[in-house]
Amino acid sequence: MDNGAARTAQPVIVAIDGPSGTGKSSTSKAVAAQLGLSYLDTGAQYRAITWWMVTNGTDIDDPTAIAAVAGKPEIVSGTDPAQPTITVDGVDVSGPIRTQEVTAKVSAVSAVPEVRARITELQRSLAAAAENGMVVGGRDIGPPVLPDAALKISLPAPAEARAARRSGELKGSDLHSTREALIKRDAADSSRKTSPLAKADDAVEVDTTDLTLPQVIECVVTLVEEKRAGK
């Protein structure tokens, strides 16, 4: 689609949910780029606040300690799908937030209600400010963060398929340990008291198990175009 035409189309907020390894970040970014929409990687925001807490010595095993400092870091997300950015207190953390240490601790931090309230507020303000519309990718965006999103999409896949995909991305990683880590993360996110990982009742499900990334992107682009056309 011509980007100029995309920018004059009806603004639409698209919420793409799914567990780790379904390709939601890559899909969200590509769909936003094709349709001239803004893009928000919500997982990066939770990783950013986790990185800040790790760096500043916050006790990750103490929810009270986490809650006490949840409002301190200044987190700024760039929403250009061609070059999404994330800074904490003015520091580019796009690399550091992807470390194994942050990955291992992000579920514990994101389970704290004060953290979720802080990040949810950031996400809603960014979505509201997106003049052309926005694709928001994350683990639980539809129901708790953007319940009024014009289009909610769920990208499910079994742990085995997600582990194989993630192991391919992380060269040299062990398939079994990757699978076990994904299952552990799923369990933590699904059982937390605040905004547990769950599919929105009105979400369109696109099972990514047997689809290539280009096929998933094509499917989602079609869904968004149909929504913007009023179908």
Topology, domain 3-224:
Rossmann fold (3.40.50)
Instruction: Tell me how far apart the alpha carbons of residues 106 and 202 are, in angstroms, rounded to a whole number.
Output: 28
Cβ neighbours, 10 Å, residue 212: 10
Residue 140, φ and ψ in degrees, nearest 5: -160, 60
Q: What is the pTM of this model?
A: 0.77
Q: Which DSSP string corresponds to 31-71?
A: HHHHHT-EEEEHHHHHHHHHHHHHHTT--TT-HHHHHHHTT
Query: pLDDT digits over 106-136, tens only?
Result: 989 999 999 999 999 999 999 999 988 999 9
Which of the two residues, 10 and 128, has the higher pLDDT score?
Answer: 128
In the numeric block, which tokens belong to residue 229?
Answer: 């056309």
N- to C-terminal Cα separation, the chain: 18
Q: Which of 48-52, 69-73, 143-147, 215-219 has the lowest mean pLDDT?
A: 143-147
- Across the range 75-101, mean pLDDT stands at 96
pLDDT at 39: 97
223 burial type by CB count under 10 A (0-12 exposed, 13-18 middle, 19+ buried): middle
Q: Which of 15-29, 34-48, 156-170, 208-222 has the highest mean pLDDT?
A: 34-48
Q: Residue 183: CB partners within 8 Å, gap ≥ 6?
A: 159
* Residue spans per domain, the chain: 3-224
> What is the pLDDT confidence band of residue 190, given thresholds at 50, 70 and 90?
low
Which of the two residues, 101 and 229, has the higher pLDDT score?
Answer: 101
Which of the two residues, 188 and 18, has the higher pLDDT score?
Answer: 18
